């Protein structure tokens, strides 16, 4: 059940990230072509910056789901396998707490931006563009929890242990 949920979540994130990448590419290429032709698209720079920010937030959630984000596995692997799990959970608790604060702050930002719009496209509410902060942080938390379930399996903890060459001070082999 959890694996099916994780795969569906991963598919949704991958699809959304690809849409964002494609959209950003099309807008940037259009902006260059139009600028070369002498017809600047005034909105293209602002929209491409927004899309790049969205790509960063949603892409980080995808990286978290794949456990490909910045981390310190070498530090965790210094502990013996039986001591590794509590430190794994502690580290994840800090990450989830940080992104929980980001959700809260993002919602506060969302409230403050009521009535504001983009400069170049005044019909686009700034709240829409900045909604990526709480939404992206929430998706990161979901991704962490889904990947943590797999990471906590005892077999997975010992696999990491073997790949890194054992505990400091122990015989390797």
Strand partners, 117: 125
Number of residues that this document lists for the chain: 173
Output the tens digit of pLDDT for each of the chain's 173 residues: 788 999 999 999 999 999 999 999 999 999 999 999 999 999 999 999 999 999 999 999 999 999 887 777 777 778 887 788 888 889 899 999 999 999 999 999 999 999 999 999 999 999 999 999 999 999 999 999 999 888 777 655 555 555 555 444 444 33
> How do the domains of the chain map onto residue ranges?
2-163
Instruction: Report the alpha-carbon distance of residue 59 to residue 72 in Å, rounded.
Output: 20
Q: What is the pTM of this model?
A: 0.83
Instruction: Report the alpha-carbon distance of residue 52 to residue 31 in Å, rounded.
Output: 15
């Amino acid at each position: 059940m959890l694996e099916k949920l994780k795969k569906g979540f991963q598919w949704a994130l991958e699809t959304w990230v690809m849409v964002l990448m494609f959209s950003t590419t099309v807008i940037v290429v259009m902006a260059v072509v139009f600028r070369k032709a002498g017809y600047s698209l005034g909105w293209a720079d602002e929209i491409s910056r927004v899309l790049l920010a969205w790509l960063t937030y949603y892409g980080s959630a995808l990286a978290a789901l794949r456990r490909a984000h910045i981390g310190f596995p070498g530090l965790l692997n210094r502990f013996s396998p039986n001591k590794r799990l509590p430190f794994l959970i502690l580290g994840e608790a800090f990450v989830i707490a940080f992104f929980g604060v980001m959700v809260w702050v993002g919602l506060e930002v969302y409230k403050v931006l009521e009535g504001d719009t983009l400069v170049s496209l005044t019909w686009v509410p700034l709240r829409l563009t900045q909604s990526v902060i709480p939404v992206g942080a929430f998706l990161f938390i979901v991704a962490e929890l889904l990947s943590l379930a797999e990471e906590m399996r005892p077999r997975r903890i010992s696999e990491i242990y073997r790949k890194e060459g054992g505990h400091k001070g122990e015989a390797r082999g």
